[in-house]
Amino acid sequence: MKIIVGNWKMNGTRTELRKMLRKLGETQTKNRIILCPPFTMLGVKSDKIALGAQDVSAHDHGAFTGQISARMLREMGVKYAIIGHSECRKYHHDTNKIVHDKATTALSVGITPIICVGETMTECRTNKTAQVVSSGVLESVPQNLGPVIVAYEPRWAIGNNITPRAQEIASVHKLIAKTLAKMNMSGTPILYGGSVNTTNAAQIMSLANVDGVLVGGASLKSDTFIPIITSAR
């Protein structure tokens, strides 16, 4: 069983979401599918497919204009939330500490955080990947407060049609698995994200310690998302 997460970012309409949910519902698979549309679409009825949010506030309630709390999401039936996505780290300046706080509030109401970590192109070129990824996990992932999912997303691979080599993905996933083991969190699922498509998904998901994928662009259309889901064995 693999975990396949679709991240719609700021795309789509309710009609498109309903259509996608219908097609996903008809897809024969043992894999767990989680679709994360924009906040305003989270109320769309979805019996078979779990819906997830793309972010959550670090606060429970109060004077935080524009933010949405974990409790509010839970009230809508949301079970998962992507937290610390590189676009939130980049545009909203989410640090590992903020990501940790957001994930903690999600866990406090029973939402499973999908916590993203990954290096920039400069960090990759200067051999800082291991350091950035291991400190990202140690500082962003709440230790043993409840089930979490970790996603390795090299920032330079997102929306770029390029991915690290299979060997590089495997070595970062091994490092994440080791780091989680040190935190007494062995068995935590580790996903890969960044330019996953119909051509590379099966190979990426066959790598050791890759428990699924986080898919952006290719999750917007059923023609590209469904083959990714069915390619995972």
The smaller minimum CB distance to ligand PGA, of residues 164 and 216, is found at 216
Concerning whether 75 is annotated as a catalytic residue, the answer is: no
Instruction: Please give the C-alpha separations between residue 222 and each of 31, 42, 86, 126, 229, in angstroms, as whole numbers.
Output: 16, 19, 24, 38, 10
Which of 61, 153, 168, 173 is labelled catalytic?
A: 153
In the complex, what is the shortest distance from the CB of residue 87 to ligand PGA, in angstroms, rounded to a whole number? Answer: 7
User: Which residues lie near ligand PGA (CB under 6 A)?
Assistant: 7, 153, 158-159, 193-196, 214-218
The smaller minimum CB distance to ligand PGA, of residues 188 and 195, is found at 195
Which of 75, 85, 100, 123 is labelled catalytic?
A: 85
Report the DSSP beta bridge partners of residue 6.
Answer: 35, 215
Residue type for position 199: T
Residue type for position 155: R
In the complex, what is the shortest distance from the CB of residue 99 to ligand PGA, in angstroms, rounded to a whole number? Answer: 15
Residues 6 or more apart in contact with residue 168 via CB below 8 angstroms: none
In the complex, what is the shortest distance from the CB of residue 7 to ligand PGA, in angstroms, rounded to a whole number? Answer: 4
For the chain, helix, strand, coil in percent to 5 are 40, 15, 45
The smaller minimum CB distance to ligand PGA, of residues 74 and 85, is found at 85
Concerning whether 61 is annotated as a catalytic residue, the answer is: no
- Cα-Cα-Cα-Cα dihedral sign, residues 74, 76, 79, 82: negative
The smaller minimum CB distance to ligand PGA, of residues 55 and 153, is found at 153
In the complex, what is the shortest distance from the CB of residue 201 to ligand PGA, in angstroms, rounded to a whole number? Answer: 10
- Please give the positions annotated as active site: 85, 153
